Chains A and B, each alone.
Chain A
Amino acid sequence: MMDMHEVEEKLNFWNFPTEPWHWGSIGNFHFDVNPRTLIVTWLTMLLIALLAVLATRKMDMKKPNGIQVTFEMIYDFIKGLVSDQIADPVKAMGFLSIPLTYFIFILFSNLLGLMPTLSSPTADLNTTVAFSLCTFLLFNYYGIKFRRGKHFKHFLEPYWPFLPINIVEDLSKPVTLSFRLYGNIYAGEVLILVILGLVPPMIDLFGGFVVSVVWLAYSIFVGCIQAFLFTMLSIVYVGQKVSEEH
């Protein structure tokens, strides 16, 4: 039986630096950067760019090749989700690129953490909070842009004592978005470490994906579900602020 931290040290095959880099501080606020998350984020971006280039090299409308069909399926899927929530096609097309980016990036990053010696970019709270702050700024921006003053009048609906409830609801949206994604992916990674630690020779022999096959399969499922859920909730939040009804 090995401890979680010993397993983590043994799995550090690429020798990522484990301690955060301190880039200075303003008063009590420290600018720390996790180098492992940075490196894996760049790796994810490289992978997505590589797949996109491979998909569009010989683009053909009549006879699409394999990767192009996959990207078109993802695009159609997200477009269906957006058109269900936002009725106006002009606003929907303007908004479409952001959920598409969310979905592809979060899906790739969740699945990258299941590779034997790598970790997910979304297993770090900084990445998920960045995404949810983007969504928060986004639905406020779209609310103000398309509905001017009525966006703020919404806080007083249906009666004015509802003001604290509406404020808490608006503030809890980015918090729960970020913590849901972070918790699911980080807990999955820690459990991979714990299961590896149960039988020590597994780590040296196979980088360990023999015993933990069941947990890795469930983590693939959870990664796909969480990517879809983040995208869906972002679309729903923006759709609520932009819709013409009530």
Chain B
Amino acid sequence: MELGAGAAIGTALAVGLGALGAGIGDGLVTMGAVQSVARQPEARGTIYTTMFIGIGLIEALPIIGVVIAFILLGKVG
């Protein structure tokens, strides 16, 4: 397999699998947040803040995967 072909497959796999993980993780966090707000609407501010912290933490590693994909994109062709 040539370098360009391997880099192309690597780019797509990195972004795709990273997006899969981020999607599932963010969905679980938001599910918890929505259930908590439904149960106790007065704590809405704290729950939103915690939800954004959770999303920021979860999305860190898929974003690193996207940066690696950009590096690999330069080696295609």
A: residues with CB less than 8 A from B are 176, 179-180, 182-184, 186-187, 190, 225-226, 228-229, 232
| B28 to A: closest C-beta gap in Å | 18
A-B contact pairs, 13 of them (CB 8 A): A179-B60, A180-B64, A183-B60, A183-B63, A183-B64, A186-B70, A187-B63, A187-B67, A190-B70, A225-B52, A225-B55, A225-B56, A228-B52
Question: Does B3 have its Cβ within 8 Å of any Cβ on chain A?
Answer: no
Question: Does B53 have its Cβ within 8 Å of any Cβ on chain A?
Answer: yes
* Interface size grouping (class) on chain B: 10 to 19
Closest Cβ neighbor of A177 among chain B residues: B60
B: residues with CB less than 8 A from A are 52-53, 55-57, 59-60, 63-64, 66-67, 70
Q: Which of B59, B63, B66, B70 has most chain A Cβ within 10 Å?
A: B63
User: Contact between A229 and B57 (Cβ–Cβ < 8 Å)?
Assistant: yes
| A215 to B: closest C-beta gap in Å | 14
When chains A and B are docked, how far (Å) is the Cα of A186 from the Cα of B65?
12
User: Contact between A187 and B70 (Cβ–Cβ < 8 Å)?
Assistant: yes
User: Contact between B52 and A179 (Cβ–Cβ < 8 Å)?
Assistant: no
| B62 to A: closest C-beta gap in Å | 9
Residues of A within 8 A of B56 (CB): 180, 225-226, 228-229
The list of the 10 closest CB pairs from A to B, nearest first, reads A183-B63, A229-B56, A180-B60, A183-B67, A187-B66, A183-B64, A179-B64, A184-B63, A190-B70, A225-B56
Closest Cβ neighbor of B68 among chain A residues: A183
Q: Majority SS of interface residues in chain B?
A: helix
Tally inter-chain residue pairs, CB-CB below 8 A. 35
User: Contact between B52 and A183 (Cβ–Cβ < 8 Å)?
Assistant: no
| B42 to A: closest C-beta gap in Å | 17
User: Contact between B53 and A182 (Cβ–Cβ < 8 Å)?
Assistant: no
User: Contact between B52 and A180 (Cβ–Cβ < 8 Å)?
Assistant: no
Residues of A within 8 A of B64 (CB): 179-180, 183
| A138 to B: closest C-beta gap in Å | 20
Residues of A within 8 A of B63 (CB): 180, 183-184, 187
Closest Cβ neighbor of A81 among chain B residues: B49
Residues of A within 8 A of B70 (CB): 186-187, 190
When chains A and B are docked, how far (Å) is the Cα of A226 from the Cα of B59?
11
| A130 to B: closest C-beta gap in Å | 18
| B57 to A: closest C-beta gap in Å | 7
Closest Cβ neighbor of A183 among chain B residues: B63
Please pick, from A179, A184, A186, A229, the residue contacting B53 in the complex, using a CB distance under 8 A: A229
Known: A183-B64, A190-B70, A229-B52. 11 other contacts (CB 8 A): A176-B60, A179-B60, A179-B64, A180-B63, A183-B66, A184-B59, A186-B70, A187-B66, A225-B52, A228-B52, A229-B56
Residues of A within 8 A of B57 (CB): 180, 229
Closest Cβ neighbor of B65 among chain A residues: A183
Residues of B within 8 A of A183 (CB): 60, 63-64, 66-67
Residues of B within 8 A of A179 (CB): 60, 64
| B55 to A: closest C-beta gap in Å | 8
